[in-house]
Amino acid sequence: MKLGLAQIFVQWENKELNKLHVKKCVEEFSKAVSEYNETALLLFPEMSLTGFSMNTENTADLDKETVEYCEELSEEYGVAIGIGWVKKKEKLCENHYSIVTPTKGEVSDYIKIHPFSYSEENKFFKGGNKISICELDNLKIGTAICYDLRFPEIFQVMSKDADLIIVPANWPKKRRTHWNTLLAARAIENQCFLAGINCCGLIGGIEYSGDSALYSPMGDSVEYIDVLEDADLNNKIFIYNISNSVSEIRKSFPVKQDRREDLYIELIKENKECL
């Protein structure tokens, strides 16, 4: 499968303009991978059409307009797409990430489990309570969003099934060391591929450094086979070849068989009782 990470400069709270930029990225990615005649998946950052905004009155979808738009693009250009969007609710909204395919439409819809309280995301968004895993070209794909990366427990749950876990994000430049380190750590801990998809540039007054990357189940940074650059928009699409080697790696170095999850649960219970 060909995997594309769209590291884009998101125009702040401008859905219509960002839709055009997403379409251009999908079109260019589709052209670049067409020669391979393989399944292709292009992933965009968290809140792909707005940036990491708490202004939900302007950014939230009343229904699923963003998903429907990407379903149309997916069918037109023959590639699967991962897109971040906000769902309107009566009180607190939801931070979603969906994967759509040319033939099946939406195959994954994940709600960010951990709102980023440091920036008061929790005052505008409620956290989800379910994981989401879909299958594409013999790869089972799990989704986490940005701040979720700091919470390893959900990755252990996902990696029971997932071969690839994607982390779309709006991760600030000032914490880029955390981003790079945690992506590699989650790959190593879970013995699966980890893809981090970040935005870049000055967006909503915050500087983002990009640092989008794919890590192998051994924690190594995977080399991309091609990169598409748009200097005018400051966008890059990194293209990777990814095949499912997860089961072989886990068999050769069977770390996960030594996990003692029943004990971990008991220790958590005991610790709560001590408090």
Of the candidates 61, 60, 41, 168, the residue with the CA atom closest to the CA atom of residue 107: 41
3-class DSSP state for residue 1? coil
Q: What values do phi and psi take at 51, rounded to 5?
A: 80, 170
Place of tokens 């879970």: 190
| Secondary-structure breakdown of the chain: helix, strand, coil percentages, each rounded to the nearest 5 | 35, 30, 35
Residue 162 CB partners (closer than 8 Å, separation 6+)? 133, 140, 141, 142, 190, 192
Beta strand ranges found along 129-188 (DSSP E): 133-136, 139-143, 164-169
Q: What is the pLDDT of residue 274?
A: 64
Taking a C-beta distance cutoff of 8 angstroms, is the pair 106, 98 a contact?
yes
Task: Output phi, psi for 169, to 5 deg.
Answer: -155, 165
Q: What is the pTM of this model?
A: 0.96
Torsion, Cα of 43, 47, 50, 51 (10° steps): -100
Task: Write out pLDDT tens, residues 97-134.
Answer: 999 999 999 999 999 999 999 999 999 999 999 999 99
Q: Which residues pair with 85 in a beta bridge?
A: 96
62 φψ region: left (φ > 0), alpha (ψ -120 to 50), beta (else): alpha
Angle in degrees, CA 135, 140, 143, rounded to 5: 100
Closest CA relative to residue 87, chosen from 36, 51, 124 = 124
pLDDT < 70 stretches in the chain: 273-275
Place of tokens 């990777």: 240
Q: What is the pLDDT of residues 175-197, one digit of tens each?
A: 999 999 999 999 999 999 999 99
List, in order, residues 6 or more apart from 270 with CB less than 8 Å away.
Answer: none
pLDDT score for 108: 98
pLDDT at 170: 98
